[in-house]
Amino acid sequence: MSDDYVKVQLEQMKSLGEDGEKKGVDTEEQVPLSSPSSVPPSITIAGRDATNTPITCKQRGKKKDDKNSCGKHISDLSLQGSGDSPHAGKNLNRRGHERTLHIRGTGKILQGKSEANGNYVNIHPSKNTQDSLARKRRPVTVDIVKAKTSLEALKISIKQLKWKEFPLGRRAPCDIYWHGVSFHDNENIVSGQVNKFPGMIEMLRKINLSRAMRTMQELFPDEYDFYPRSWILPEEYQQFSTQIRMVKEKDATVNPTFIVKPDGGSQGDGIYLIRDPSELRVMAGPQAKQAVVQEYIHKPLLIDKLKFDIRLYVLIKSLEPLEIYIAKEGLTRFCTEPYQEPSQKNLTHVFMHLTNYSLNVHSGNFVHSDSQNTGSKRTLSSVLYRLAAKGVDIKRVWSDIIALVIKTVIAVVPELKVYYQADIPPGKPGPTCFQILGFDILMMKNLKPVLLEVNSNPSMRIEHEQEISPGVFEYVPSPVDEEVKVGVIRDTLRLMDPGLKKPSLSQPRAGGFEHGDEIPMEAETQVRSPDEGTLPSLCLKQVYPKYTKQFNFLRLVERTAALFIRFLGVKGNMRLGPTAFRTFIRTCKLSNSNFTMASVDILYIDITRRWSGAVADSREAGMGLQAFVEAFFFLAGRRFKSLVLREQVVSLLELCEAQLESQSSVEDRRSVSCSRALPRTAKTQTHGLTANPQLNSPAPLRRAASQDYRLHQRLKPRTLRANVEN
């Protein structure tokens, strides 16, 4: 967040705050810092007593069914309102009339959105120039057949960009395919770009995300302390109950609370709170459901005495090189019953403890507001403004959120790369991918952000369902959702514009990804195409590779995954067979008289067997990435006993990578003398190794990562955090 951005946001919010103030509201707010003299307004929740609804799957299901019976379904919807908020800076006011786009009767809303998205660029070509530039360029084509609930926001975005939508598909390939659910929504795409990565849904399921975060917590406990302690059920039930019993025995006054979340659940479905392992539901037998049980954050930051969470939109523009963008504007979702720390009495109060819109919308206290800074769903900037007005250092909060996002993406990228090479193996024609993710973040009372979950398919719906008369529902525009979501989709499209794309940066390249000298340090205005004069500047901010230096040292599992992928051998595979594992050990010279090939086989069998039981949907036999990572950590620990785990892993990675590098140069010399024409990929394959240059860990990346790691060891975490610009 730049200073300018913060300034603009604050100015906007000041006027929004004034807007709220007129409505006359309660000013008490739980923020742990001193209050400034002018306290921003808070909201009044009208009406009835909160319902003490038990948190059960059944009840939610029933409510959903009720709605479905009217031919509608509930999703992440929002409040109503005009969205014609006051203007931000002078420039914005001056240009206000130019920016108003009357699309589907939403002119006012779009005007508001432009304001929230920040400054406008100074380039405003005349209408004639714009028209002639637009004429010269073939419009970008977007296949929207499978867009599902994103359709409305997508259509508005395409129209704003003057691109061409194909609602019924197109015989010729499109530039961009917009899928509503998964990469596989349409199986026949061989070119262009798809807005989903293969494997993202699987990777972000609660259990898989927890596993990936745990691996990172083992390596970097301080860096990954933003993810609550979690256990995977039923497999870790014993560990969970033993650990909790020990904690309670040690200090009888400690009575922690835990939240149980079914794997693959969403919208709060099936979630419940417990205070003792004995309260877990069905932990054994055929009905035992996989779930994550997690430490409950019992001291969240409150506004107007209510718990809330943040929905932040994050774009992964490319996996290799890793490019991450964060939307400067997001949503906040509020509970509808005043918060109290968990007690046996209130554990079942769903409207007090869960911030899901889909649950709270059924509370009598849910507030549909016309304003962005009141009501049960608000913009993130309006909440940040209120915090800033209370004296909170929101630049610091925002830095911490950026760090959380980058670290989380770094945790999931290794496995995503395995999925990617399986679905789009090197040499096979296929599209490139990008994806918008929804990060759910809770602020603790001490202002530390905590990651709750990442949604692979965040709702991009811009209407919400309203009961216009008993039992009759209608979709009405939701200004707050439109404000945020159209900006995110439109600017994602702008970043993915094939006319602006530099293939050498986002595509696999034969020589491997050169880190450092080829990092695309795109300024946000550089992605502007000539016919974008009237569009606001991007609401998406690049955070990676921008902050490579601060975070690159964390990419150790990714380097381990690069080894794994290299030895997978057969294109499209996701698991390593015993022979390939042996080849890995031999090639990297990891066996010796103390660790024979027989021990290698035992290690393989032991770890693979355990993981095949742990991973429910393990269709393929063999060693998956997570099992390989465990084996790799074991080998690192054996070889470098005196070091701490992360240093053990770094040392083993350097050893393996050096072996592979020397092997490759021997190969290079041999093949140069045999045939100058033989391409590098073919040469590598003669060794039975996959040669996806996009996915292997090339020498410069490794060197940069190792150097970053050493540098990081000398820096204090606080310094690093401060280095993340806003």
Where along the sequence are the contacts to ligand ADP (CB under 6 A)? 228, 259, 261, 265-269, 271, 294, 296-297, 309, 354-356, 440, 442, 452-453
Q: Whose Cβ is closer to ligand ADP: residue 109's or residue 259's? A: 259
Q: At what angle do helices 3-22 and 394-423 cross, to 10 degrees?
A: 110
Burial 310-349 (b: 16+ CB within 10 A, else e): bbbbbbbbbbbbbbbbbbbbbbbbbbbbbbeebeeeebeb
Q: Whose Cβ is closer to ligand ADP: residue 61's or residue 503's? A: 61
Nearest-angstrom CA–CA distance, 373 and 303: 11
Q: Whose Cβ is closer to ligand ADP: residue 261's or residue 566's? A: 261
Nearest-angstrom CA–CA distance, 90 and 294: 48
Nearest-angstrom CA–CA distance, 134 and 128: 10
Burial 359-385 (b: 16+ CB within 10 A, else e): bbbbbebbbbbbbbbbbbbbbbbbbbb
How near is the Cβ of 152 to ligand ADP at its closest, in Å?
23
Q: How is 236-273 classified by DSSP, letter by letter?
A: THHHHHHHHHHHHHH-TT----EEEEETT--TTTT-EE
Q: Whose Cβ is closer to ligand ADP: residue 376's or residue 694's? A: 376
Q: Whose Cβ is closer to ligand ADP: residue 355's or residue 381's? A: 355
Q: Whose Cβ is closer to ligand ADP: residue 350's or residue 543's? A: 350
How near is the Cβ of 296 to ligand ADP at its closest, in Å?
4
How near is the Cβ of 71 to ligand ADP at its closest, in Å?
24
How near is the Cβ of 261 to ligand ADP at its closest, in Å?
5
Instruction: Pick the closest to residue 497 from 188, 118, 141, 171 (CA basis).
Output: 141
Report phi then psi at 427, rounded to 5: 95, -25
User: Measured at the alpha carbon of residue 71, what is the angle toward residues 69 and 72, in degrees to the nearest 5?
Assistant: 105
Instruction: List, in order, residues 6 or more apart from 407 with CB less than 8 Å away.
Output: 216, 223, 224, 226, 551, 554
How near is the Cβ of 250 to ligand ADP at its closest, in Å?
22
Q: Whose Cβ is closer to ligand ADP: residue 455's or residue 690's? A: 455
Q: Whose Cβ is closer to ligand ADP: residue 339's or residue 420's? A: 339
How near is the Cβ of 484 to ligand ADP at its closest, in Å?
17
How near is the Cβ of 257 to ligand ADP at its closest, in Å?
8
Q: Whose Cβ is closer to ligand ADP: residue 205's or residue 546's? A: 205
The dihedral region occupied by 5, where left means phi > 0, alpha psi between -120 and 50, and beta the remainder, is alpha
How near is the Cβ of 458 to ligand ADP at its closest, in Å?
11
